[in-house]
Every structure is written in C-alpha cells, then in structure tokens.
Amino acid sequence: MSTTARTATPSATASVRVEGLRVSFRGVEALKGLEFSFGGPQVVGILGPNGAGKSTLLDVLEGLRRPTAGRVWLLGQALGEGYPRGRVGAVLQREFVTDRMSAREYAALFSTLQGVRDGAPGILREAGLEHRAEVPLDRLSGGEAQRLHLHTALAHDPDLLFLDEPSAHLDPMSRQRFGERLKAEGRRRTVVLCTHDLTEAEAVCDRVLFLVDGVLRREGTVEALLEAVPPEARHTGTLADAFFHACGARLTDKGDLA
C-alpha cells in the first residue's frame, strides 16, 4: 500500500474554506494563518475593528489579492485554479471609478460582465430605481446606491455573496431595511458580511468570525458565542460581551469597535 500523503479535498458543501491563509505586504503581515470553513444558506459576519484585516481577507476571497501563503476554496474550487465568477456576487465598500456613471450604465455594465443579457431593466426595477435611471451614482442617496449595488450583484443569482461594509453610508431606517433584505438573502445563499458594527452583526448574522490584528480569535453562531461568555463578563447581554471577552477590544464613542 502506498504511504504517500494525500491532500484532503474540501467538502462540496463548503461555500468558503480557508487553510493557513497569510497575506503580507509592505513588510506587514495583515493575515496570520487563518483557518475556517462554512457553507449553506446563512449570513456570516466577519467582525473586527479597523485594521483587523477584514478587507484584506475579502480581497483574497473576491480574487482581488493573492495570498502570501495558504489555500482558499470557494464553492469547492481552489483559488489559483480559476475563479467561480458565475457563482459569486460582490458589493464593494465604495466604487469611486463608477461614481460618474448613471444608474442604468452601472447596471448594464455589471450585468454584461456577469453574462446577464438585458439585465439593466430588471436590476433597476428590482431596486426601485427606474425613475432614477439616468442619475449619476454620486447623486444617488446612500440607500438608493446600495440597492443598486446589491441588486446588480444578485442579477446572476449567485450562490455566494460578499459585502464589504455595505451599510456604512446608510441612515438608520435604510440600514434596518437593508439588514432585513440581507437576512432574506441568507435564506437562499451564503452571504458574507464584513463589518465593525456589533449591533448590525447581531441583528443580521447567523454565524460570526471575530478577527483582530489578522488573527481569528473566535468563531461560531451568534447564540453559541453569547452562551460562551461567563457571567462575570456579561455587561450588555449582546454580542459586544462575546467580542470583548474573546478579543479584549473596546467600543469607540460612536459605538464602533476599536
């Protein structure tokens, strides 16, 4: 019998699988050996303070940055051996290069890139922006722009959706509505949400990864993370208790992580 070691094949049910992921640039190690896996319909939050490595991780998962070391699989496909673009959607934090495009032009461009023929009318209709079709993106309200970005990212019905700080520029009412939409999408596909907003994460996410200084400190369902907090560390009864207990972080005056 051969004794040659074989590399384990990631489960076909895993939407995202990461093994030993490291990313370094300009002499700084932004991600330090991350290991995690998740899949199925749910909203997964990558939660951490500014500089934790959240956006770097998302860049790798979106195929925008190559890892320094480690391996990543999306929907069973190893990155470096192609990218499952037809099954992945993304809403970036802010897309400055498209700000002067009209809503119609933006929808048409990205639906074409995703192979959705004549997708712009449907995107604008779903986003409730038919009457704003010729308005430049930088003249749309935060809620309007985010609806456009989300419906464009969903036009090809992806199995996996990435979002980087999607509610950062929304007013409270728009943020609540957006959160309800994300929860609905999480019942149909895997949604990965990067945020530093503890309240948003608790309200929207089914599972959370706590990322601090490029290290994965803790992960699990929101319920399991809350249950793991000892009585003496419970102050608010919210996800903040779990994060502070696991990571030793604190809140800023604005309520964000620091």
Q: Which position has the higher pLDDT, 34 or 92?
A: 34
Query: Half-sphere exposure of 55 toward its Cβ, with a 13 Å CA cutoff?
Result: 11
The answer to whether 152 and 92 have CB atoms below 8 angstroms apart is: no
Q: How confident is the model at residue 162 (pLDDT cuts 50, 70, 90)?
A: very high
Which strand (E) or helix (H) includes residue 126?
helix 119-126
Q: How confident is the model at residue 182 (pLDDT cuts 50, 70, 90)?
A: very high
100 pLDDT above the threshold of 50: yes
Q: Which position has the higher pLDDT, 155 or 166?
A: 155
| Cα 75 from chain centroid (whole Å) | 15
Give the phi and the psi of residue 219 in degrees, each rounded to 5. -150, 155
Q: How confident is the model at residue 165 (pLDDT cuts 50, 70, 90)?
A: confident
Q: Which position has the higher pLDDT, 146 or 248?
A: 146
- Encode pLDDT of 115-135 as tens digits: 887 789 999 999 999 999 999
- Model pLDDT, residue 97: 53
- Encode pLDDT of 167-177 as tens digits: 777 788 888 88
Residues linked to residue 7 through DSSP beta bridges, in sequence order: none
Q: What is the DSSP string of 30-89?
A: EEEEEEEEE-SSEEEEEE--TTSSHHHHHHHHTTSS--SEEEEEETTEETTS---GGGEE
Residue 237, number of CB atoms within 10 A of its CB: 9
Task: Give the list of residues 6+ apart from residue 141 with CB closer than 8 angstroms, or none.
Answer: 174
The answer to whether 93 and 165 have CB atoms below 8 angstroms apart is: yes
Identify which of 61, 69, 64, 58 has the alpha carbon closest to the alpha carbon of residue 29: 69
- Model pLDDT, residue 256: 54
- Encode pLDDT of 1-40 as tens digits: 333 333 334 445 789 999 999 999 888 899 999 999 999 9
Identify which of 160, 159, 190, 165 has the alpha carbon closest to the alpha carbon of residue 178: 165
Q: Which position has the higher pLDDT, 218 or 166?
A: 218
Strand ranges in 100-178 using DSSP code E only, listed in sequence order: 160-164
What mean pLDDT do residues 74-88 have? 92
- Model pLDDT, residue 1: 32
The answer to whether 229 and 213 have CB atoms below 8 angstroms apart is: no
Rounded CA gap, 154 and 148, in Å?
A: 10
Q: How confident is the model at residue 51 (pLDDT cuts 50, 70, 90)?
A: confident
The model's pTM is: 0.86
Q: How confident is the model at residue 197 (pLDDT cuts 50, 70, 90)?
A: confident
